[in-house]
Amino acid sequence: MPRPGFVLDVDASTPPILTWHGDGFRLERLPADRSRVIYAPEPVPGLDDPDEAIRHALTHPLGDADPLPDLLHPGMRLTIAFDDVSLPLPPMRRPDNRQRVIEAVLDLAATAGVDDVVLIAALALHRRMTEAELRHALGDRVHDAFAPHGRLLQHDAEDPDGLVHLGVTDLGEDIEINRRAAESDLLVYVNINLVSMDGGHKSVATGLSSYRSLRHHHNVRTMRHSRSFMDQHRSELHSSNWRMGRSIAAAGVKVFQIETTLDNNAFPSGLGFLQKREWEWNARDRAGYLATTAAIRAGSERLNRSVFQSVRAPYSMTGVWAGEVEAVHAATTEAVYRQQLVAVEGQTDIALFGLPHVCPYNVNSIMNPVLVMCMGLGYLFNLYRGRPIVREGGVAILSHPTPWAFHPVHHPSYIDFFEEVLAETTDPIEIEKNYEERFATDEWYRHLYRTGHAYHGVHPFYMWYWGAHALEHLGRVIIVGGDPAAVRRLGFVPASSLDDALEMASDVVGRDPSISHFHCPPVMMADVT
């Protein structure tokens, strides 16, 4: 029986705590008697036979849905959409959940004599995946069967002919999604639900939609009214996607949803110490830590980045559900919570977030300063249910090198956002009002998004909005060990050590603040009462 997550109160005998720091980590000693460390639950057991479980799920759907074989017939148009490179994190070892599920679906389709099958990577406004990334997600067999015939597509949110407007929700939100998906007899969507916001109606309503549609929920107002966006009952983002998903169904698009969950076993055995509580480190873990940190010290920034980006997580599939979207998502959410929820009592004055090497938007890429903000204040800050782990007006301390570095192929609009927009203002409202439209409709970004591997021109704005709730909630944000110029450009305060950061926090939260260290990854969710 895996142990649940727990909260450690730091005392004088507590060892230094491992704190993520980009492509590396630091050991930080936290002030005794007023600090606590929030640890993730241990990995729940994986499925003994995932392929069998998938076959079972496809033939025993949840909610108001027929078994998949009954939905397949010769002459039909079948579209299988799947999550893109942003999931899971880090990328999992082969075979990927998507490969397993899609192979099973394709087997059934072949048996049923379905010829017109198209696979679509549900990019939304993310960058197009490379061939290697597609092969990793789908497996070589699926890739080689579809790609050469032009049947492996990547969603293009800027293709005027490839989109269809399905109307508006009762709140007037435009619904525009991929034409092939919308006009298929059946749309199968294959998810990997890494966190509780993944999946559900968001899969199609966001993953296969366009800027015209996304701007209704990817905006400052929605993000400020999603507390957090990881908690579907209190998430305006969730509500909007749900309205759209129901309208999509009402418009006649038949969606067969497949969702899969993972344990939180994110690191291979050589990096096993990253999964463990520090006082339980054995000789091997200590040696692993020393060897790894020595290698990081010796390596260049580029080398360390490429080593970390090559980490493949030994995740196990812990569950798979298929059928009607909402029924499936209810089951998945419960499974995600089972793996990730940690009960936390009360808020503290300070939250300490060590930022790991990867976030959803820098897989095989660079975590640029805008993504540092998004990872810290968007993702980690929002991994809560109930209340944030830091009180209103408190301080968030992020730990990340925050280099002034950008991937020119993946993040061209980020560079300009950082150089032009953030140099003028960091206020999300101002940014949204004065700059979003120009970037979103920029021809050059559109061109790079459609033909290369660039995120959409508006994407950095969304990253900034992702942190809008945290920016409103917090009294100060401090980044430990970051490039001071880049940190200041973000509107945050640079500190060279945790002690300095705590000193800097003192004029906001006093001399004896309470501190929470959110020990993530492995990914978890704080259930704050």
Tell me the closest approach of the beta carbon of residue 158 to another protein, in angstroms.
Answer: 12
Contact with another protein (CB under 8 A): which of 251, 327, 343, 415? Answer: 415
Of the listed pieces 177-185, 231-239, 448-456, 498-506, which binds another protein according to CB under 8 A? 448-456
- The amino acid that residue 359 corresponds to is C
Among 485, 510, 496, 464, CA closest to 397 = 496
Contact with another protein (CB under 8 A): which of 115, 420, 424, 512? Answer: 420
Q: Which helix (H) or strand (E) holds 346?
A: none
Contact with another protein (CB under 8 A): which of 49, 66, 419, 424? Answer: 419
Query: CA 14, 17, 20: angle at the middle one, nearest 5?
Result: 175
Our CB check for another protein shows the closer of 224 and 305 to be 305
Tell me the closest approach of the beta carbon of residue 486 to another protein, in angstroms.
Answer: 9
| Residue with token string 């004055």 | 349
Our CB check for another protein shows the closer of 242 and 414 to be 414
Q: How far apart are CA 138 and CA 134, in angstroms?
A: 6
Contact with another protein (CB under 8 A): which of 145, 251, 271, 405? Answer: 405
Residue 406 as a binder of another protein (CB under 8 A): the answer is yes
Residue 150 as a binder of another protein (CB under 8 A): the answer is no
Contact with another protein (CB under 8 A): which of 49, 107, 131, 472? Answer: 131
Strands 317-323 and 255-262: antiparallel
Residue 301 as a binder of another protein (CB under 8 A): the answer is yes
Among 298, 325, 304, CA closest to 204 = 325
Tell me the closest approach of the beta carbon of residue 156 to another protein, in angstroms.
Answer: 15
Cβ(350)–Cβ(493) under 8 Å?
A: no
- Bridge partners of 122, per DSSP, are 83
> What are the tokens at 175?
């619904």
Instruction: Give CA separation, 376 vs 112, 359, 464, 468, 492, in Å.
Output: 47, 10, 11, 12, 12
Contact with another protein (CB under 8 A): which of 141, 302, 424, 503? Answer: 302
Among 379, 444, 473, 456, CA closest to 411 = 456
Tell me the closest approach of the beta carbon of residue 436 to another protein, in angstroms.
Answer: 16
Tell me the closest approach of the beta carbon of residue 438 to another protein, in angstroms.
Answer: 8
Our CB check for another protein shows the closer of 75 and 148 to be 148
Residue 404 as a binder of another protein (CB under 8 A): the answer is yes
How many other CB atoms sit within 10 Å of the CB of residue 60?
13
Which DSSP string corresponds to 349-362? Answer: EEEEEEB-S--TT-
Contact with another protein (CB under 8 A): which of 341, 442, 457, 460? Answer: 442
Q: What SS3 state is found at 344?
A: strand
Interacting residues toward another protein by CB under 8 A: 131, 301-302, 366, 368, 403-409, 412, 415-416, 419-420, 442-444, 447-448, 451-453
